[in-house]
Structure 1
């Protein structure tokens, strides 16, 4: 069964769609929490979640002894790009804007953002790409500068020679080559708690699974911004490691042009 067929099979079942709805309402739930909300036996929920994980619609992040379940927007984004947006994009964008505005008023908290991608590379290569200033400048348009020791500061400097720093933060955890946790402050002058980004690099034979979790987002504007930004940045990273070069055009510019 192809990846696309697996995605559509997963979405065809009303119970699995309900699980996705529950995660959309509150991302990062344990199996026990999902079972309580759905009045579902643990074994049944596990079977449905396993299929959602195989379809990459849900990703599992270990937090100590807990296994937290997160929505992965990448497959649905690909379905939207291939099957929906090309047919009636202006009208769909207008309807989507109305829907998002209504949801913004109803939403009491900003969800955690999780993105998963698979890369033909070693864990060490992915770690170096995330922490080497010259490599980040190539695929991100910014050099990430730090000694990457826990407690150290890091800066997200523009690669255009201006030296402008757009994001700052601190290194909360560094466990090369598999786990990096940083704070992410794009508006350091504002009095608010910084969001946090976790990069989890899981090697498997000749590939790695890279999971990026962005938590404690201050508002929906930032959530919407990173929802476009992270897929663009990570696609460029994947291209660099697998082909030796970044994409021919900056993917975040495409996101802005089609917004």
Structure 2
């Protein structure tokens, strides 16, 4: 917590976060051009933000891209107003470590730590019945030949995910094919699993998105709610759907 407030105390670091909020995944050169300071100075500020978990660096070829990680801010907020922000619990333990090299730059990156075994996490990510238990909107998921189809509560198709690559209990790459809009662009999602004692670190990456990612909206909000359901399901065994619709259903009449 102290590292977060220390990182936010400097106006230059706040400017860097504002810049990443407006355009995520910028390189050092892009960020340097926006501040009246040396390259070394910008690097020092980025290091502080990385240590606080507010920025996640990601190398692609010769370039290092920087992504805003809002989870530590959610954790700080959740400490005082958790009863009013159930969705904030989604990524309380998100961290900034990304270790697996990729050849192309992701449009969205997120991490969470889940108290579970590698086997349990892998099963939750590949078993259609379990997927339907924790997804924030899908009420039914089917699987055939590693093609997963998600359905809304009324039975309407939500999206399809075709497995492109799979390294057992370590990595999954699949398509993301929305069915809720015409001419939807097919994108790619990646799950990376690393085990750390009693915890598993799950990294989520999303590529080839049609629109820029805005923190707390669209794709970012969807992954936050999805991760909240997955984490709760694995750690408590309870099926909780972190969606506005589900919250309305749970409200007393």
**What TM-score does the superposition give when structure 2 sets the normalisation length?**
0.70
Counterpart in 1 of 2:151?
157
Counterpart in 2 of 1:244?
237
Cα distance per residue 1:175-198 (max 9 Å; x no partner): 232222222222376224223222
Identify if the C-alpha distance between structure 1 residues 186 and 35 changes in structure 2 by more than 3 Å, giving closer, same or farther: same
| Residue 141 of structure 2, aligned match among 143, 147, 151 | 143
5+ long unaligned stretches in structure 2: 86-105, 249-253
| Matching of residue 30 in structure 1 with residue 27 in structure 2 | yes
Residues 40-189 of structure 1: pairs in structure 2 closer than 5 A = 40-63=37-60, 66-80=63-77, 112-140=107-135, 141-143=139-141, 145-148=143-146, 153-158=147-152, 164-187=156-179
Residues 216-235 of structure 1: pairs in structure 2 closer than 5 A = 216-219=208-211, 224-235=217-228
1:197/1:215 contact within 8 Å kept: yes
- Aligned CA-pair RMSD: 3.5
Mapped to 2, the partners of 1:86 and 1:163 lie a distance apart of 32
Counterpart in 2 of 1:253?
244
5+ long unaligned stretches in structure 1: 90-110
Structure showing greater relative contact order (alpha-carbon pairs closer than 8 Å, 6 or more residues apart) = 2
Mapped to 1, the partners of 2:238 and 2:211 lie a distance apart of 34
Identify if the C-alpha distance between structure 1 residues 255 and 157 changes in structure 2 by more than 3 Å, giving closer, same or farther: closer
1:126 to partner: Cα distance = 1.9
**What TM-score does the superposition give when structure 1 sets the normalisation length?**
0.69
Counterpart in 1 of 2:13?
16
Mapped to 1, the partners of 2:133 and 2:56 lie a distance apart of 28
